[in-house]
Amino acid sequence: MKLKSTRRVLLSATAIASIQCASQASAQVAEEPTAPAAAEEERNPVIIVTATKSNQSLEDTAAAISVLNADAIGPGGIENAGDLSAAVPNVSVGDQFGVNRTFIRGIGLTSIDLGADGAVAFLQNGAINSRPAAQLSGFYDIEQIEVLRGPQGTTYGRGATAGVINIVTARPTPYFEGYARATYGNYDALTLEGAVGGPIAGETLAFRVAGKYEQRDGYGENLFTGNPVDDRDAYAFRGSLQANLTPDLELLVVADHFREDDFNYAFHYFGPTVVPEAFLPGPLLGGDTIFDYYADRGEPVDTRNIYSDEDAINDRKGSSIQAIATLDKGNFTLTSTTAYRKFERFNRDDLDVTDINAFGQNNYTEDSESFSQEVTFTADLGGFDLLGGAMYFEEDLFGEVRVPTVNLAQYFNVLLGTNLPPDLFDQGNYLQRGTVKTEAVGAYLEGSLELVPDLTFTAGARYNWEKRSGTGRFTFEAQGLDIPTDKTGDWDSITPKFVLEYQTPGGTLLYGKVTKGFKSGVVNIGSVNDVIEPENVWSYEVGLRGETGDGTFGYSAAAFYYDYTNLQVGFVNENSIVETINAASARNYGLELEATLRPARNTTFRIFGTYLNAKYTDFCNGYYAAGDPTRRQFPACPDNPALSDLSGNRLANAPEFTVAIFADQTIDLGDTGSIDLSADMSFQDEVFFTEFNNRDARQEAFALVNASITYHSPNERYSVALWGKNLFDKYALANTIITAPLYGFVSVGSLRPPRTYGVTLGVDF
């Protein structure tokens, strides 16, 4: 699968040439900061948010943003995308079948179909990582993680209706430096991580090389095969080069690769729903579930384990290369970001959740290749600022879902009393297979005018265009289906943005903003779906952020209201076929409060709390428990009585309340070093994982507690950390789905990690 290499070369060359021409045309020199200003910056480091594309400080950004720095990332802290949900307000992260399902303010990825995109734009150094399954590789050698909550329709366009997560990797430095960490923990976990870098040619050319290796036993076991469940065996490495071509033109090149080969991302069986377990395919054909396994032994069920003839196979790898050229002339900047990414994966799980092959072997293959090119600029015209840019993105995606229908005829004979040859469908498949080609173009411009001192109005808009072309087939011999699924869709949208911000004399930033978000339509691979229409959202938000003059108290707040149309929702339909549809409408509103307190020089507390009300306002869908008098029922839809009216139900992964508290204390030991004490607690209200809001796919409210103690040597070169996560070993679901009718609507999904703890030895040089 090859992209048009000529197009890549031309686009990249054009972008670099435009920067070089701009460098020659501009003669303005940036002023050096004065000594007092430099000293103040050293005492109170300024956090620069790159994801806004305007490189503003966090304090000056009129948006709901969280920034996690390098100290928060690593063993015992933020190790992967799943850890963000405890650290960032209104963020919920889970996975399903090895696919990242990140939600911000109740909006995220619900579809389980091939080719589905998330509603959270996941970036590395500003370049999109489009495949949700490629976003779970883990973090290492990171400078900071930036999370923008709310639609980012102007600056990002496609796929950012919920927000943006930008991973900023550590850059090369003009001086020699590095670090190494070795971690050992329970589940025989071993993690090795390190980086080294420095000058190649003075301050003109510098390099950095980083890598990470992880190996861990499973959190559970396949009690039938004896192999681990949800273990980890992975490595990753990254190389970076930074060239200062002229005093105001730099080029950063980042290349990385990761690989996983383990038994991770298993389907855990949580029990039957509307079909008694004895009538599920596996038990009817003589198989046992994990519930049967434990019942035979008179032991309580541990669903961290599975009991299956199929192991949870996970084999994935990805590579990328980025080139970021930046011209900085002080009042004018021009940036070109070019990125190429390739990702492949194979996952296998067991849909019948038993120890026999009851047509349950689910094989999932994905192979993508993408290229993106973006050019952005900022200009300070004295009381009027401009931000603009243009981007191009293309992706070739191949996908396949293959479920061999072994023993399906025998199941029909037992269930329906038919007399089919027992091996009639054994050579057949449920098969979705094909490719989707995506092309997207966007251009945006926004301007900020200082109306009066400290009062600024910003207005902007983006034009989005996207086309998806799919070729493939859907085959299900048991239903007599073998049909082509070729289809094409293209869409365009204009997404405006309006912001009014005011800086009070006391330093508090007040803002109000109206934005529109756009998530493009979808052509699912090998799917009988019609082309899925785009989803759109109008967002209305007011907020504030500030800090007292002495820095002892920082605060921020945001209140928002969303009006969604055509929300994309995925499910398994009554014919056991994966389907995605457009929900008619939804509305979300909520409140986010954050505060940081520094009562003493070495003491810091941080707290946040959120309220979220996210509900469908008009949505009809088929219901797996329709007509069952023992189950919750919904009103019939006025225009189709066969469907259930789900209006008023909560959106998936949308907890009503969340609260988190973080405490850090540094004890100065004088000439013998220092000790850092850290603890945090996060609480999440109940969430539902499907639109039906049933207990079959629900996680009750829970709290997680983490803590660490770290010793630093006097020169902070060496460190020893003892840490623990989920200290009270809270059992919590990360996600669940209700399977197809063919499998009896069972509840399967993934789990959050159990209690983990370990020791980390570190050295910095």
- Contact residues for 589 (Cβ-Cβ < 8 A; gap 6+): 559, 560, 561, 562, 612, 613
At 93 the pLDDT is 87
How far is Cα 743 from Cα 275, in angstroms, rounded to an integer? 9
Q: How big is the CA angle at 164 (ends 160 and 168), to the nearest 5 degrees?
A: 145
Instruction: Return the residue matching tokens 């989005």.
Output: 464
Instruction: Return the residue matching tokens 């080294």.
Output: 196
How far is Cα 484 from Cα 716, in angstroms, rounded to an integer? 63
Q: What kind and span of H or E run contains 24? A: helix 5-25
Q: Give per-residue burial for 289-320: e unless 16+ CB within 10 Å, then b.
A: bbbbbbeeeeeebebbbbbbbbbbbbebbbeb
DSSP 224-245: TT--EES-EEEEEEEEEEEEEE
The rounded average pLDDT for each run of 10 residues, N- to C-terminus, in the chain (765 residues) is 41 39 38 42 60 71 88 91 91 86 89 80 92 90 94 84 93 96 98 97 96 97 97 97 96 98 95 94 96 96 97 97 96 96 96 94 96 96 93 96 95 93 94 95 95 95 95 91 93 95 93 93 84 91 93 94 86 66 88 95 95 94 89 91 92 95 96 96 95 93 97 95 97 91 92 97 96
At 19 the pLDDT is 39
At 498 the pLDDT is 96
Count of other CB atoms within 10 angstroms of residue 493: 20
> What φ, ψ does residue 527 adopt, rounded to 5°?
-105, 145
How far is Cα 400 from Cα 578, in angstroms, rounded to an integer? 13
β-strand pairing of 747-751 with 268-271: antiparallel
User: CATH no. for residue 235?
Assistant: 2.40.170.20
How far is Cα 730 from Cα 247, in angstroms, rounded to an integer? 54
In 477-602, DSSP assigns E strands to: 481-484, 487-503, 509-519, 535-547, 553-572, 578-600
User: What token pair was written down for 42?
Assistant: 């050293």
At 14 the pLDDT is 36
At 119 the pLDDT is 87
How far is Cα 122 from Cα 139, in angstroms, rounded to an integer? 13
Q: What is the CA radius of gyration of the chain?
A: 26
Owning domain of residue 75: 5-764
Residue 330 is given by DSSP the state S
| Structural domains counted in the chain | 1
At 573 the pLDDT is 65
- Point out which residues pair with 297 in neighbouring strands: none
Count of other CB atoms within 10 angstroms of residue 272: 20
* Structural contact between residues 112 and 95, judged by C-beta atoms closer than 8 angstroms: no
> What φ, ψ does residue 137 adopt, rounded to 5°?
-75, -15
- Contact residues for 12 (Cβ-Cβ < 8 A; gap 6+): 323, 336, 338, 373
Going 278 to 280 to 284 to 289, the CA torsion angle's sign is negative
At 575 the pLDDT is 61
